[in-house]
Structure 1
Amino acid sequence: MALRFNPPPNWPAPPEGFNPPPGWQPDPAWGPAPEGWQLWVDDSAPGASAGSAPQAGSAPVADPTGQSASAPSGDYAAGASPYAANMDYAQSPTPYHNQQATPGTSPQAAGWQPIDVGQGGTPGGQKPVTKQWWFWTIIAVVVLALVIGLIVALTGGDDEPVARPTSTASSRTSDDSRNTTSDDTDDGDDTPSDDPTSDDTTNDDKDDSNSSSSSSDVGTTMDDPADPEKDVLVFEAGDYEDDPDASFDVQFGSVEWDATSDIETEAGKYFYEDPGSGNVYMRVPVTITYHGKGKMDSYDLTVDYVKDGNTTEATSLYIDSEFRQQDMPRDGGTATGYFMFILSEDDANAQQGVFAVNGYYGTDELYMAAKSF
C-alpha cells in the first residue's frame, strides 16, 4: 500500500513529493481541514491517482502522522475538489512562491518544517522559557532580594541608636598641664604626717595655686559644680568626630553680673540691642585650650546659664569680644571670648546659678559655678 499525503483545498500546495514526518502539524493559520476530509490516500488502490480528490465511501486509511483519516464530506464527494483539473491550484498563494530551494536540498527542506501547533509552535512541544511560571517567579524573587539589599545598604542595616562616648570631667588648677589628671596624687595617701614641719608644708600647699585640690566627680552635677577659680572642665571627642582622640579644656573667668553699659559701648548704636525693661546683660569670659588634629570648631562648645532649674541660653550681638567671633585654635592653642546672657535684674543681683557646659556631640553635660572673684 502506497500512501500519499492529501492536503485539503484551503491549505497551500505542498512541494512535490512532500511526505510529512511523524509528529508534523499544519500551520494553524491555514485553518482546519473540511469535515470528513481524508488526509491520506492509498495510491495503490484502483482508480487512485496523484492530485485526485478522495472518493466518497472509500475505506479510511491509517494516518502515519496521527491525524484522523476519514472519507471526505458530501461537499467534496461529487467531484467538487479544488484539485480538479480545471483549477490551476499551483498558482494559488503558498509559502513557496518566489522561493528557490537551495541546490542539493529536497523540496521538503525548503519549507514545510515540522511544528507542534499544540505546544505553542516550539520544537519538541516545550513552552518558551519566558512563558514558564517558574521563570517569572525567579525574576520576582531576585528583584525583591535586590530591593531589600538596597534598603539595608542605605539604612546601614541598624536602626539602633549609636552609643556615644561620655565626656570626662577633670577638675584641676588652671596651671596644670594637659598630662596632669585629677586622680594624680603624690603617694595616694592623704593622712597628715607626724612631722611637725608637715603642717607648714600643708599650709604652704593650700596657698600654692599650682596644687590640685579636687576630685574627678567635681562638676558632674549641678549640686556640686566645679569652681572657676581652680577647676577646669575637660571634654574628649567621640568616635565619630573628625579626630576621635581630640579634646579641649574649658576654664571660666569671673562673671560680670551687669555688663549692660560695657556691652552697649562696645556694640555701638548699630549693633546694640536693649535687653528689655527690668533686664540686664550678664557675661562670663571662657578660655579653651585645644588638643588634637586640625582646628577646633567654636560650636563644639555650648554654655547655658541655669538658676533654680530654669535655663537661659546664650545670646549674641556679634561683637568682637564674643566667643563665637574668636579665631579657633589648633593643637596646643587657646582662644578666649565672652558668653553673654540676658537676665532679670533680680537674678543678676542674686549672683547665683551655674553654667551648664556641653562639649562635642553626645557627651555628658558638666557644670561650673557662676561666681565673681
Structure 2
Amino acid sequence: MALRFNPPPNWPAPPEGFTPPAGWQPDPAWGPAPEGWQLWVEDSAPGASAGSAPQAGSAPDAGWAPTQAVPAGASAPVADPTGQSASAPSGDYASGASPYAASMNYAQSPTPYHNQQQAPGASPQAAGWQPIDVGQGGPGGKKPVTKQWWFWTIIGVVVLALVIGLIVALTGGDDEGEQRSGTTTSSRSDDSDDSTSKDDSSSDSSSDDKSDDSDSSSDVGTTMDNPGDPEKQQITFTASEYADDPDASFDVAFGSVEWDATSTVESEAGKYRYEDPGSGKVYMRVPVTVTYHGKGKMDAYDLTVDYVKDGNTTEQTNLYIDSEFKQQDMPRDGGTATGYFMFIISEEDAKAQEGVFAVKGFYGSDELYMAAKSF
C-alpha cells in the first residue's frame, strides 16, 4: 500500500502531493517532531498513528521545490518510502544562529543540493538527483588533500630525507673526524747557510733539485716505499678540527743520521745516566727540528718518531740527556726547537745505513715517512 508523508503539527504544511526527496531533513527552526510521531503513514490513513492529526502551520506554497534543510538538532532524519535514510550535514546551526526564520515554509528553505532543477512533469524522486556531501570536502565526495593517504606519505618521505641529510652533514668527511697531514716539497731553509761557499755550479745544482721536486709524486712520504728526502723535504702536520686549536700546525725537518753515536751518547750521558746498548748493538740518533704555528706552546708529545728497517720497528730510547728532543723547551707560534731522537739498533743495520723514520704528529693523524740517511 502507498505511503504518505505526514509532517508533525509544529511544522509548516507541505505543498500538495509533497514527497521528501532522498536525504531531505527538516529546517532546524521548525523544531523536532513529537516523540513517537509517524512521519510516514498509509495513504488511506487520515492522520498519524500516534493519534495526532497533522496541523497546517502555513499555507502550501505553489512555487515550492524540493529542498534540503540543515540538520535539526535532535530531530530524527526523514526516510523516504524506498527506505533510504537522510544523513545530516555537520551541525553548522547548532548554536542557534539559523539562517531560517521560524515562519519559513518549505518553499523558502535554501538548498545545498545540486541537480534539483526538475524537468516539467518530472518526479521529485528523479533517479538523477544527487546530494553534495559537504562533509566530504566538496562535490563528488572528494576528501581534502590533508586527508589523503598519499599526502602524508609524501610528507613522511621528505622529513626522513631531511633527517638523513642532516645526519650525513654532521658526521660527514673523515671517519675519524681528523684533518690529515701532508708532506711539502719546499727546499730546506738551512740550505741557504752553505750558499756562500758554493761556486757558480750551485745554481745548476739548485735547478736540478727543483726539477727533481717537480717530478716527484704527490704521494711522496705517504708510504715506506716512497719516503721523503730529508735533504729536500719536510713534513707538515695539522691539528684535528676537534683540537683546542684546530688551526695549529708544525713542520718537521730531519737532519743527517749518526748511525753509530754510542761513544757520543756515553760522553753526554755520563756514568750515572748512560746505559750500555747491549752486545752487538749501538746507539743511533737523528736531529729533528720543529717549527710551530698556533696558539699556546707546542707539546713535545705531539710528535713521535720510530725507526723502521725491513718492516721491523724500533721505538726511540730516552736517557734524559740534555740533547734529546723531549728535553728541549717547546716553541710557541713561529718558534723552533731542535733535539735528537735516539734508537738502539744492531751493528749490521748501522753499517747498512738504510731504513726510514715513521713519523706521526698530533692525535689521529696519518703516519708519514722520511728516509734515514746521512748527508
| TM-score normalised by length of structure 2 | 0.48
